Amino acid sequence: MRSTRPSKRGSRDARRTAAARAASAAPLSVVILAAGEGKRMKSARPKVLQPLAGRPLLKHVIDTAHTLGPSAIQVVYGHGGERVRAALKDEPVSWTLQAERLGTGHAVLQAMQHIPDGHLVLVLYGDVPLIGRAQLAQLLALAGPRRVSLLTMRADDPAGYGRIVRSARGLVQRIVEQKDATEAQLAIRECNTGVLACPAQRLRGWLARVKPDNSQGEYYLTDVIAMAVKEKIAVQPLIAPRISEVLGVNDQAQLAELEAVWRARCARELLLEGVTLADPARLDVRGLVSHGTDVFIDVNVVLEGRVVLGDRVRLGAGCVIRNSEIGADTEVFPHCVIDGALIGPGCNIGPFARFRPAATLGSGVHIGNFVEVKNSQLGAGSKANHLAYLGDARLGERVNIGAGTIVANYDGANKHTTVIEDDVHTGSNSVLVAPITVGAGATIAAGSTVTHAVPAGKLTVARARQATIEGWRRPVKNKK
Ligand code: UD1
Ligand code: CA
């Protein structure tokens, strides 16, 4: 089994990075700025809660920060703050309120109250979600007690970004914001990503001296670079090798672009691991996928949460699969929704089948079109090929559920269990009113509504008898 989830390598990396850092450097505090309003998103939802690949933007950044093995993660929140905190209340981070949005320097300063002098501080942004562990580890390695490291990027269109001003010898001198830049500075292509690493004691001192004497009247974090240079503290730039990792989200168009970046990354990993994709641009992975060999995924499939696909599994077009496991050699035909199911090997599913949580299928089970399965077990070789509902049912092996069979599990107040033993056949359009047990080998006649136990090995009919009325005449219209 191979697993795919780009840039989320988890605890092993965290331990490795933490160990490498502990050997060489100061403890790490990560500050994530998330106080922005995000007006341009034109959404009632705070920007950092907008979902990317099914997770809030801020959650991506927190997850990545964790892989660096920090001592603490400080999230600076502001606008819509209570919603942000509530949505991410289980995250092991500290929250600092920035009551007034006075600029990035002011925001970092709020978090500095909780960060000891001996720490190295890494500043990240809640709206730059795809920043990767490798790039950050590289940046941290460049920082030290007398060194600030700064992540920059070469932008084709630098509009809106702070520009990196270098000396004739190529040393970083300072950062100039777009709104404060001269004509010559505006032509600089190297831009500030905003991400930097800096020793805490120095950062605290510099931030305390930052003044809002700029065109926006804000306390700029970026002003600390010139302060460092003045104090002969080296500024080590790192030009981001992968620009997609430092792109921010300001509007829905940028959010969609990053979703496409994520999609392409996931698809590429799966392809390189041997999965066949009908179209890498039409698969969405919003979680963690594990898979065996020779798996085939057709177009427009969405995989969410933890999805496990056995060897030679085939997923048809348009399937949505969430937190489910699918056994080897199972084929899922197009347009199935599978949520919280455990599907055995060699099954045929769909098209147009729906699984709700706690559906468990043995091997060789067939579930056909317009069949819904909820909290039910189906033993090996059982079939429900057309138009059926199985809820809270325990089916044995080789059971055949006829078209239109409904397990009536709900009496309007409580849900009850239906037991259907091995080799039962239910006729078309039968209703099994729970709680009820259908004995092994029983046959239920088509159109029956059974409300009492059905004995094993016999035919049970529970419908009005067919009668034919001799001599009956069809009425005819009266003549006028
Ligand atoms: C900032 C940088 C700029 C850089 C750009 C990269 C400064 C002064 N400028 O500009 O050099 O090129 O990011 O995207 O730092 N925030 C707060 N509280 C505040 C202000 C901002 O938490 O008081 C947060 C925002 O939510 C956002 C981040 O800080 O996540 C950046 O703020 P923003 O106003 O977008 O800065 P830019 O003008 O884009
Ligand atoms: Ca911005």
| pLDDT per position as a tens digit, 306-326 | 999 999 999 999 999 999 999
Ligand 1 atom nearest to CA at 177: 11
Question: pLDDT at position 15, please?
Answer: 61
Which residue has a Cα nearest atom 1 of ligand 1? 194
Q: Using CA atoms, how far apart are residues 474 and 381, in angstroms rounded to an integer?
A: 48
Alpha helical stretches, state H, 98-222 = 104-112, 133-142, 183-186, 200-209
268 CA distance to ligand 2 centroid (A)?
29
**Residue 435 preceded by cis peptide, ω within 30:** yes
Q: Using CA atoms, how far apart are residues 279 and 388, in angstroms rounded to an integer?
A: 33
- Is the CB of residue 50 less than 8 Å from the CB of residue 43? yes
Segment among 16-25, 161-170, 338-347, 410-419 with least mean pLDDT: 16-25
- Share the mean pLDDT of the chain: 95
Which residue has a Cα nearest atom 3 of ligand 1? 162
Ligand 1 atom nearest to CA at 47: 26
Q: Which of 114, 136, 145, 204 lies closest to 25, judged by CA? A: 145
- pTM recorded for the entire structure: 0.89
Which residue has a Cα nearest atom 35 of ligand 1? 36
pLDDT in tens, 146-158: 999 999 999 999 9
Which residue has a Cα nearest atom 25 of ligand 1? 36
Residue identified by tokens 């990767």 is 132
Ligand 1 atom nearest to CA at 126: 30
386 CA distance to ligand 2 centroid (A)?
53
The alpha carbon of residue 450 and the mean position of all alpha carbons in its chain are separated, in whole angstroms, by 44
Ligand 1 atom nearest to CA at 223: 8
pLDDT in tens, 356-379: 999 999 999 999 999 999 999 999
Amino acid at 177: E
253 CA distance to ligand 2 centroid (A)?
14
Which residues are annotated as catalytic? Answer: 386
Segment among 7-11, 110-114, 233-237, 403-407 with least mean pLDDT: 7-11
250 CA distance to ligand 2 centroid (A)?
7
DSSP category for residue 144? B
Ligand nearest to the CA of 103: 1
The alpha carbon of residue 287 and the mean position of all alpha carbons in its chain are separated, in whole angstroms, by 5
Question: pLDDT at position 9, please?
Answer: 45
Domains, in order of start, for the chain? 2-246 (3.90.550.10), 252-460 (2.160.10.10)
Question: pLDDT at position 20, please?
Answer: 56
DSSP category for residue 200? H
pLDDT above 70 covers a percentage of the chain that reads 95
pLDDT in tens, 252-270: 999 999 999 999 999 999 9
pLDDT in tens, 70-105: 999 999 999 678 999 999 999 999 999 999 999 999
Question: pLDDT at position 16, please?
Answer: 58
pLDDT in tens, 14-53: 665 555 555 557 999 999 999 988 899 999 999 999 999 9
Residue 197: is its pLDDT beyond 60?
A: yes
pLDDT above 90 covers a percentage of the chain that reads 92
Q: Using CA atoms, how far apart are residues 285 and 295, in angstroms rounded to an integer?
A: 15
Ligand 1 atom nearest to CA at 220: 8
474 CA distance to ligand 2 centroid (A)?
80
Residues with CB under 6 A from ligand 1: 33-36, 76, 98, 101-104, 106-107, 125-127, 161-162, 175, 177, 191-194, 220-222, 248
Question: pLDDT at position 11, please?
Answer: 57
Q: What are phi and psi of 34, to 5 degrees?
A: -145, 30
pLDDT in tens, 281-303: 999 999 999 999 999 999 999 99
Amino acid at 8: K
Question: pLDDT at position 3, please?
Answer: 74
Residue 161: is its pLDDT beyond 50?
A: yes
The pick from 75, 96, 104, 128 for probing ligand 1's pocket by mutation, whose C-beta has the most ligand atoms within 8 angstroms, reads 104
Ligand nearest to the CA of 128: 1
Q: Using CA atoms, how far apart are residues 450 and 413, in angstroms rounded to an integer?
A: 20
220 CA distance to ligand 1 centroid (A)?
8
247 CA distance to ligand 2 centroid (A)?
10
**Residue 129 preceded by cis peptide, ω within 30:** no
In the chain, how long is the greatest CA-to-CA distance? 113
Ligand nearest to the CA of 247: 1
- Is the CB of residue 394 less than 8 Å from the CB of residue 417? yes
Distance set, CA 139 to CA 12, 85, 121, 172, 314 (Å): 20, 28, 11, 15, 42
- Total residue length of the chain: 480
Ligand 1 atom nearest to CA at 125: 30
Residue identified by tokens 């209570």 is 82
Q: Stretch 161-186: mean pLDDT, rounded?
A: 97
Q: Which pLDDT band holds residue 228 (cuts at 50, 70, 90)?
A: very high
